[in-house]
Amino acid sequence: MQVSRDVFDSLVEQALDEIPAELTELIDNVVVLVEDEPPADDPDLLGYYDGVALTERPANHAAALPDRILLFRGPLLDMCVDADELVEEIRITVVHEVAHHFGIDDARLHELGYA
């Protein structure tokens, strides 16, 4: 599937906007980035949370660089056959990575249907 970078970025923004306000107010010091491709050692990776979960942060974490949520455009486009599927996969990936920010692990995300 092919969509422009601008359209893809808009879909990511849409997915972020769908996160309930009571949760977005709790997200602290996180930047969301779109990369074209994942690391070579994990070519099917859709997204990645790079940071320290809120549940594990020390009291002096305030001066730290922002955590990062990375979404990988190539694998997401490759796995989707149409726009509806792409919207859904981006939403699931965004929720999955934001959940890691809150300290929710992959096992629990799998139970919730976000693996």
Q: Structural domains in the chain?
A: 5-112 (3.30.2010.20)
pLDDT at residue 63, as a whole number: 65
The answer to whether 76 touches 89, Cβ cutoff 8 Å, is: yes
| Residue 87: DSSP 8-state | H
Residue 28 pLDDT grade (very low, low, confident, very high; cuts 50, 70, 90): confident
Q: Which residues contact 34 (CB under 8 A, 6 or more apart)?
A: 5, 8, 9, 12, 70, 71, 72, 73
Averaged over 70-88, what is the pLDDT? 97
Q: Count of alpha carbons within 13 Å of 81, Cβ hemisphere only?
A: 0
Among 2, 87, 113, 106, which Cα is nearest to 49's? Answer: 106
Averaged over 104-115, what is the pLDDT? 84
Q: Give tens-digit pLDDT for 33-76.
A: 999 999 999 999 999 999 999 888 777 766 678 999 999 999 99
Query: Does the pTM of the predicted model rise above 0.85?
Result: yes
Residue 95 pLDDT more than 80? Answer: yes
How many helices and strands (H and E) does the chain possess? 5, 3
